[in-house]
Chains A and B, each alone.
Chain A
Amino acid sequence: QQPVQSPQAVILREGEDAVINCSSSKALYSVHWYRQKHGEAPIFLMILLKGGEQKGHDKISASFNEKKQQSSLYLTASQLSYSGTYFCGTETAATDSWGKLQFGAGTQVVVTP
């Protein structure tokens, strides 16, 4: 089942912060975050495994609450290059789902000067 992402879109000025949420109704093994520019390939940002770890990539970080089956992506002090559509991909704990990712509908982020 597809995870639910919110918000659908967000417009930021350079330097502002934003949070993108991803939630699932299934027990999760991992959450993957990607950014996609229009018409291009999704670019891997980070992976979070169950255990509630928080990871960072430059000024983009994420957390994973496995009890709530939720992950959040934090864009801090946003830069113009952060513009794009952000997708979360979830991998469930079911053995027959191992390796398979279900992607959310995406959150469009626009960073303006």
Chain B
Amino acid sequence: DSGVTQTPKHLITATGQRVTLRCSPRSGDLSVYWYQQSLDQGLQFLIQYYNGEERAKGNILERFSAQQFPDLHSELNLSSLELGDSALYFCASSLTGAKNIQYFGAGTRLSVL
């Protein structure tokens, strides 16, 4: 168990809908990262938050947004969902320092029908 908690584990929804994925980082970790992994593909970096502030952005669509709350948990919001958004979404957290080791949650599997 990495200590990173993601909910829900599975989400099944229809095209055009909006969903929210939640992530609780490991105790003490200030950074949260979101990744998308499509079927048998690599990990695509979406966005990073550090202590409530957006730190870095990757290939995140405008339909997607994220935030990190004062208690350091983070939410990834996906709207106007398309079939191609079906993927595993991982959250990772790190303490952030010289050895910025990221620990991954179990992921949320999103299926858009």
Contacts and interface: CB of A to CB of B under 8 A. Distances in A.
Interface of A: 2, 30, 32, 34, 39-44, 47, 49, 87, 89, 91, 96-106
Nearest to A3: B42
7 contacts: A32-B101, A32-B102, A89-B102, A99-B50, A99-B94, A100-B48, A105-B42
A32 B107 CA distance: 19
Interface residues of B, number: 29
B42 A99 contact: no
B101 A44 contact: yes
Given A32-B102, A44-B102, A49-B99, A101 B45 contact: yes
Contacts of B41: 105
Interface string B36-71: 000001111100101000011010000000000000
A97 B48 CA distance: 11
Given A97-B56, A99-B31, A99-B48, 11 more contacts: A39-B109, A42-B104, A47-B101, A49-B98, A87-B43, A96-B56, A99-B55, A99-B94, A101-B102, A103-B45, A105-B42
Contacts of A43: 2, 104
- Give 8 nearest A-B pairs by CB, closest first: A41-B104, A103-B43, A100-B56, A105-B42, A42-B104, A99-B100, A41-B106, A103-B42
Contact of A99 (B35, B43, B56): B56
A100 B104 contact: no
Contact of B103 (A39, A44, A49, A102): A44
Contact of B43 (A42, A44, A100): A42
B25 interface: no
A42 B101 CA distance: 12
